[in-house]
Amino acid sequence: MIVIRVFRAVDELETCRKFVEGHMKILKVYGITMITSANTEWFDDPDTFVIIAEEQETGKVLGGARVQRAGGVYPLPIEKAVTEIDDRIHQVVKEYSIDGTGELCGLWNSREIAGMGIGSVYLTRVAVSIAPQIKIKSLFALCAAYTVSMAQNAGFVITTFLGNNGTFYYPKEDLTATGMYNPDTTRLEFASEDEKREIISLRKTPYQISKQIGRRGEYDLCFDLEIKISQ
């Protein structure tokens, strides 16, 4: 069984290390070594929430993502990533922070689960579904080209007011990323009907198990999305 669960970074440091190890392996495959969301300063950030997909039997981390709430100790990764290209990002984040904002970042999946949708669709769905739980109304993301349509399904729109109509050269000069944001994670006015239904289902029932069929056959998938904060 594959379990997708959420925790606050400061509550599970060893799992955070496994997350980074897996993420860095994938980045190196694509020749990417400098990326703002892959540092480890967020290990001690109480405003960072980690989403992981792990194998229940072994505890092996197969993929993950992070949601960082703005207004804490550290700026959002998108602020550091694009500030030299367009420093208006700081004012934009500040304005959205009034009602609570954050960023979906560091999304990755191992080759073992490639083609199962877990590294893109499911993790993005979870990030949006937990936003009200952690008091985030809007959510930013910096997306690779192949994830733009998936983010749009989850209610994200392109930040045409930043960069070159929303695009940036990142994380290196021969690659482009698209700035995106979900303006209202509660209303989900820009989400597809199918994705909106799935997100609402996870909010109503944060613990659920289902049978899934991917390119590698059938498997059990468990969502465990109630965030338990250690004191």
Measured distance CA(17)–CA(83) in Å, rounded: 27
Out of 3.40.630.30, 1.10.287.130, 3.40.30.10, 3.40.50.920, which CATH number does the structure's domain 2-224 have?
Answer: 3.40.630.30
Please give the pLDDT value at position 116. 67
Please give the pLDDT value at position 221. 93
Please give the pLDDT value at position 12. 95
Please give the pLDDT value at position 118. 73
Tens digit of pLDDT at every position of the chain (231 positions): 999 999 999 999 999 999 998 888 777 666 665 555 557 889 999 999 999 999 888 888 999 999 999 998 899 999 988 888 899 999 999 999 999 999 999 998 877 776 666 778 899 999 999 999 999 999 999 998 888 999 999 999 999 999 889 998 777 666 789 999 999 999 999 999 999 999 999 999 999 999 887 766 788 999 999 998 654
User: Residue 48 is encoded by which pair of tokens?
Assistant: 């960072």
Where in the chain are the domains? 2-224
Please give the pLDDT value at position 117. 63
Please give the pLDDT value at position 59. 87
